[in-house]
Copies of this chain bind each other. A is one copy, B any other.
Amino acid sequence: MYRNHTCGELRLSDAGKEVTLAGWVQRTRKMGGMTFVDLRDRYGITQLVFNEAVNAELNERANRLGREFVIQVKGTVNERSNKNKNLPTGEVEIVVSELNVLNASLTPPFTIEDDTDGGDDLRMKYRYLDIRRAAVRKNLELRHRMTMEVRHYLDGKGFLEIETPMLIGSTPEGARDFVVPSRMNPGQFYALPQSPQTLKQLLMVAGMDRYFQIVKCFRDEDLRADRQPEFTQIDCEMSFVEQEDIIELFEGMAKHLFKVIRGVEFTEPFQRMTWADAMKYYGSDKPDLRFGMKFVELMDILKGYGFGVFDNAAYIGGICAEGAATYTRKQLDALTEYVKKPQIGAKGMVYARVEADGNVKSSVDKFYSQEVLQKMKEAFGARPGDLILILSGDDVMKTRKQLCELRLKVAEELGLRDKNKFACLWVVDFPMFEWSEEEGRLMAMHHPFTHPKDEDVPLLDTNPEAVRADAYDMVINGIEVGGGSIRIHDQALQAKMFEILGFTPERAQAQFGFLMNAFKFGAPPHGGLAYGLDRWVSIFAGLDSIRDCIAFPKNNSGRDVMLDAPAPLDQSQLDELQLALDLKEK
């Protein structure tokens, strides 16, 4: 061992001890005849001290140490005269008697500090240096702690972690698969799993009763801001359960994690909200409930007063931002511009301030009497100093989604999206299907294995779009961290589901025959859910992106810029795989 202590553990009580430390040179400072070196490792920083008067040669060598040199030192723990209250080791220093340079270092391309001068691209190229920064390291430590706790909790509940294969079959339904050519079976391909969904259902058929796995999943999608082609799922499935059992068990897990990881104790059950209410009151299936501003519908109140925009609208609704009447005209114009951006698509925004005397001043005063505006005020329960923002449109759902964006934007501006505050809820009763304009058919909102609500089963034949599913999402701070459903375990119902989704029996058999056949041999009732680990860690870590809780993430083109992957293959590799490139002109 190159050390007998880490750089994070020595305290005043160790004074006088002879110790050996090893680590990286964070910085050196020369003060008169003394040289101070901050030595860093994963566990902390310890100050080393060299004295020219005591050992000139050693001091000289210390002066020549560059940033990020790897060194080993022997010395004596000494009480510091100038204590640093910000460091756990700040009361001591090591008076060095021996110095070994274990490895030199070029000057790193950015500073190894929490507040680094390195841009994103540079940091990713030299990710091995970036991870040395405490800000990144802590995320990986948190991630480890979370997965340990997840395993501990689930093991305690009788779950078995069972590895499912990574090389499986491709199913064109759903997102795009990454595929892997098989050399031993020329012309054939494996696919990497988008999730172990069907495999975990087979494990339920296999009687494993309670399964989980923390597992890599793969989706070949065009990468949006916060997507990675490979991501990690906490994947769970249980037999002989109903929706309530699953919600209870996994709410327990969430509470456990909040308690042990973040020190936050939830004593009340998480809020539950139907999908319909979530859309109605927040315009989103993952409402952020850290703050209010619940939608208020204003059709009854504001229609029919000659304001054409409202009179012709299919939906008029608004939010009330508490104490935001101080918003300037400029700020309000900026909000209007924001909702009019093509990504959001609103036509405009109406606002109204509640003044100190209780009167309402709106941007559409010429159409509305104070009496009507007061009725509106009451609908919001608005008080003096509040700001009311209203959107309208000819498509109810679209307008609600626009209002959702406005709500989040205003909350952001008002500092209501506090990363140290957590609002958890279950969104339940999702619709079974959604209509896809692109495909011209119904698509499964969750996936084709989701069980419809028993009471809605008759609607499958008459009005499938009205069928609700035994499906549920866990939402934290407006982010869907997990979701799942009770699954179909009856082969006839599963076959019907594929029929509604537009599968011919042949195609259903070709793609999911292995599962439907398994259902013929005694499939138990079962259900489960999956959490996105990357996202959950990033919430706990207070990160805006999942990237910094992943050791070696890929960029938006799916590249690992550190490894420079993907890359062309040797021709001999292609030959062995019996493949040829067929590159299209751009």
Contact = CB atoms under 8 A, between A and B. Distances in A.
Contact of A525 (B102, B148, B151, B563): B102
A106 B521 contact: yes
A361 interface: no
A584 B186 contact: yes
A168 B563 contact: yes
The quantity of this chain's copies bound in the complex is 2
Contacts of A108: 521
B216 A163 contact: yes
Interface string A175-192: 011111111111111111
A184 B557 contact: yes
A172 B207 contact: no
Nearest to A67: B522
Contacts of A554: 165, 167
Given A206-B132, A563-B169, A568-B187, A552 B522 contact: no
A169 B583 contact: no
Given A140-B160, A165-B551, 19 more contacts: A42-B208, A68-B522, A103-B525, A127-B202, A131-B206, A132-B206, A144-B155, A148-B151, A163-B551, A166-B216, A167-B560, A167-B565, A176-B576, A183-B220, A191-B565, A199-B551, A575-B582, A579-B581, A580-B580
27 contacts: A1-B245, A41-B207, A42-B208, A42-B209, A68-B521, A103-B489, A103-B522, A104-B522, A106-B521, A108-B521, A128-B521, A132-B206, A144-B161, A151-B151, A163-B216, A167-B178, A167-B218, A168-B563, A170-B569, A179-B569, A180-B192, A186-B584, A187-B583, A188-B566, A202-B552, A578-B584, A579-B581
Interface of A: 1-3, 22, 24, 40-43, 68-70, 72, 102-106, 108, 126-132, 137, 140-141, 143-144, 147-148, 151, 155, 160-170, 172, 176-192, 199, 202-203, 205-210, 216, 218, 220, 222-223, 229-230, 232, 240-242, 245, 489-490, 514, 518-525, 550-552, 554, 557-560, 562-570, 572-584
